Amino acid sequence: MAKHHKHKSRALSLYRPSSPKPIVIRTTKVVKAKHRRHHRHHGGHGFGLGGLFNKTRMGTVAGALAFGFLEKQAMFQSLPSLPMVGKSGTIGLAAYLLSNGGRNKLADDICTAALVIAAHELGSTGTIVGEDPYGNGIGYVAGY
């Protein structure tokens, strides 16, 4: 095989250096960030009890009020109660099913209040009062 030789072209080229470009130094504009002042919100209501009347707590109070009205109604007195949870727990479970996973806020608050009342009954007396599951007319007491 024959060797290939690289040929360099010997043509003359004119090289003319261009004039140097001016160096431009640009400074960026410094924008100071605004200092955000933290405003302290006072509780209001004139008593320094701003946390006492927050939205969640007042919703639970409204739920307890509605639970009390529901408990007094004759229609709810005639409803049977589930064993182990009593009348308060039954109303709480029914309100939870009606709350649609927490979307209905009033039913969700009634559920919370009813379950809190049932837990209070269980904690203070050791029992949750309801009806007899066998229909004998004897008061049913769920205990631990």
pLDDT in tens, 35-74: 788 776 655 555 566 677 888 888 888 988 888 888 888 8
pLDDT, residue 50, reads: 67
Highest average pLDDT, of 79-83, 108-112, 120-124, comes from 108-112
Q: For the whole prediction, is pTM greater than 0.75?
A: no
* CA 138 – CA 121 distance, rounded (Å): 19
The residue written with tokens 């308060």 in the block is 88
pLDDT, residue 38, reads: 75
The structural domains of the chain, with segments of one domain joined by +, span 55-143
